[in-house]
Structure 1
Amino acid sequence: MVQSAHRTCRVAITAMAMAALFPLQGYSQGAGLGAAGELVDPDTLRVCADPSNMPFSDKSGEGFEDKLAQMVAIATGRRAVGYTWYPSIPGFVRNTLGANRCDIIMGYAQGDELVQNTNAYYRSSYVLIYKKDGDLVGVKTLTDPRLADKRIGVVQGTPPTANMAVAKLMRKAKIYPLVVDTRMMPSMAEVMMRDMLAGVIDAAAVWGPMAGYYARKSGADLAIVPLTREEGGQRMIYRITMGVRPSDQHWKRTLNAFIKDNQAEINKLLLSYDVPLLDEHDERITQ
């Protein structure tokens, strides 16, 4: 959220990719701001974020992107972190980063043209979740015959829907909406988890970071299987970056240096939220 690369994340993960980037032409150097030609505040890390989008961000400061923002602020000499809150709905980029109300989106899928991407700071994938004590133990792909008669939950328009359609799983699937304002209603990942435990669905195909967080929150013994073995269909694995304005080249280099120097601590943070991290060989990173 997670989309052709976020946008998961939110390519296919949220509806950010549906937003149109506010025109950047005509921006000029403001007094006390950033390097020449950039509008980056040197004193406050100005973050663009969803106010209710766990495990990523939340007004409570409990999201892993909120924790990462604190790390970035300290490392880059900022005295504070400030937020521009806006839900992950169409218009997010236009009304936040594009409008110069903030300087960084903490999590954005690599390759999305609405922002300039930093280097990736993690790789993750869509996953299949099911109960460990059920009859799906060992299922690793959406083409496994054992899924043929199962009802699988999936978010509308996300990559797993294409693979499920090929495997003829959409006929019985329960479709959850892509665009939701989580200030008014719970995350669809959380709803899917509840439905699975209640027996409404047998399994769910969800963006990994959301799956890991809500699976742990549910307290149930669930298998979380990264969909890294799919043949054909849409891409399931995404590199997640930080998003900045196309004009902010110095800022991007600063963030790239931060990522390089702090990758181990970033991994530790993400793993503490049960994000299924993948290395370049699609193997799970566990520490």
Structure 2
Amino acid sequence: MRFRGSLTCLTAAAWLLTQGIGSVHADLPELYERDQLRVCADGNNLPFTNSAGEGFENRIAELMADDLDVPLRYVWAPQVMGFVRNTLELRVCDVMIGVVAGYEHLQNTNEYYRSVYALVVPADFDADVTRLDDPALKGLDIGVIAETPPIVPLRRSGATVRNYLLQVDTRERAPVRDAIADVANGSLDGAVIWGPMAGYFAARHDPPLKVLPLHEDDSDVRLDFRITMGIRRGEPQWKDWINDFIDRHQDEINAILVEYQVPLLDRRGEPLDSASLNAEETS
């Protein structure tokens, strides 16, 4: 779903739905020396990226540039239809920091985190919901981004689903932020949102909203996604360098993700808390 995102401009699923396909200049040779790190990104897509460098993908890009010992440069474009075609495929930039694993129109690196859709509810919500068929959802008014995986299972659960737009120009609209704000102001009982966005925006209300990762869901849709970085095909040395970077800096990356309240899952799909991360770091 960096994406990435990043995944998606809005969700991991959005990456699968909104990226353009193109192979312009695909036969040019791979760069072997880099005098800058050129990142394809959306300038208005928190918590992933923004032009002020406030997103967690911005922070990871800074780590990469420091490791390469080169300046960091962004190519900004709204993540709507054609984003890949107009940035990465045109070779005006060289990496997308957040892309859902398995996205077939570019080359994926190794994953660097795994997250899951989450239910955002008021702080006093007293049910521990971890799946979309939980009886506690019946009759509730739940916000969801249109065309994303939770919609059909939510309707089956008996919830009333309110759709928020999927494909928007992020310079003008912020549907995820709007949906979570509607939970905070009481217009919605809850919202089911891609985990990194759920955690980030829920924490920015007073009091913070509760975020319940749906890690035990076994409906016929996928709610958890592995997130990689995306590069052009035919660049094996660049892929090898990024995979090595991820391996060497995974602890720092995890710390950034935790700072941004990203709900993280381990390789078995179980939630990773701070204690689990500390154990992994010392093992």
Q: If the length of structure 1 is used for normalisation, what is the TM-score?
A: 0.89
Name 1:72's counterpart in structure 2: 64
Whether the aligned pair in 2 keeps the contact of 1:244 and 1:252 (CA below 8 Å) is yes
Counterpart of 2:99? 108
| Range with greater deviation from structure 2 (9-18 or 47-56) | 9-18
Q: Are residue 175 (structure 1) and residue 167 (structure 2) matched?
A: no
Q: CA deviation at 1:259?
A: 0.3
Aligned residues: 273
Residue 51 of structure 1: CA displacement? 0.7
Instruction: Say which of 29, 32, 42 aligns to 2:34.
Output: 42
Residues 41 and 166 of structure 1, relative CA distance in 2, 3 Å threshold: farther
**Which of 202, 209, 216 lines up with 1:229 in the alignment?**
216
Structure 1 counterpart of 2:27, one-letter code: Y
The 8 Å contact of residues 15 and 90 in structure 1, kept in 2 or not, is answered as no
Change beyond 3 A, Cα 1:13–1:50: farther
User: Residue in 2 aligned with 1:63?
Assistant: 55
Q: Which runs of 5+ in 2 are unaligned?
A: 275-283
Counterpart of 2:93 in structure 1: which amino acid?
Answer: C
Identify if the C-alpha distance between structure 1 residues 269 and 51 changes in structure 2 by more than 3 Å, giving closer, same or farther. Answer: same
Tell me, yes or no, if the aligned pair for 2:13 and 2:149 is still in contact at 8 Å: no
Quote the Cα distance in structure 2 between the aligned partners of 1:232 and 1:145: 14
1:155-201 deviations in Å (ceiling 9; x for gaps): 001111132133243xx21100001112112x222111211122111
Give the Å deviation of 1:13. 4.3
Change (3 A) 1:243 1:57: same
Report the alpha carbon displacement of residue 10 of structure 1 after superposing the two structures with TM: 6.0
TM superposition shift of 1:250: 0.6
| 1:111-122 correspondence to structure 2 within 5 Å | 111-122=102-113
Q: 1:139 and 2:126 equivalent?
A: no
Shift of 1:26: 5.3
* 1:149–1:84 distance in 2 versus 1, CA, 3 Å: same
The 2-side partners of 1:102 and 1:48 are apart by: 6
Residues 34-62 of structure 1, C-alpha deviations (whole Å, 9 max, x = no match): xxx21476010000000100000000011
SS in 1 for 2:130: coil
Q: Give the 3-state SS of the residue equivalent to 1:200 in structure 2.
A: coil
CA distance in 1, matches of 2:234, 2:26: 11
Match of 1:158 in 2: 148
CA contact (8 A) 2:142 2:191 kept: yes
Q: Is the 8 A contact 2:26 2:89 kept in 1?
A: no
Q: In 2, Cα distance between the equivalents of 1:189 and 1:220?
A: 18
Match of 1:51 in 2: 43
Give the whole-Å Cα distance in 2 for the aligned partners of 1:38 and 1:202: 51
Comparing 215-224 with 176-185, greater Cα deviation is found at: 215-224
Between the aligned partners of 1:84 and 1:57, the Cα distance in structure 2 is: 12
The answer to whether the Cα contact below 8 Å between 1:125 and 1:238 also exists between their aligned partners in 2 is yes
User: Structure 1: how far apart are the matches of 2:34 and 2:9?
Assistant: 27
SS at match of 2:117: strand
* Aligned-residue RMSD, C-alpha: 2.1
List gaps (5 residues or longer) in structure 1.
Answer: 29-36
Residue 286 (1) aligns with residue 276 (2): no
Q: Is residue 20 of structure 1 aligned with residue 20 of structure 2?
A: yes
- Displacement of 1:141 in angstroms is 1.7
Q: Which residue pairs with 1:89 in the alignment? A: 80
* Matched AA of 1:111: G
CA distance, structure 2, for counterparts of residue 205 and residue 278 of structure 1: 17
Distance apart, 1:15 and its partner CA:
5.0
Identity %: 38
List per-residue Cα deviations over 1:62-116 (Å, max 9, x = no partner): 1111110010111123x20111101010010000001101000000000001210
Report if aligned partners of 1:7, 1:109 keep a CA contact under 8 Å in 2: yes
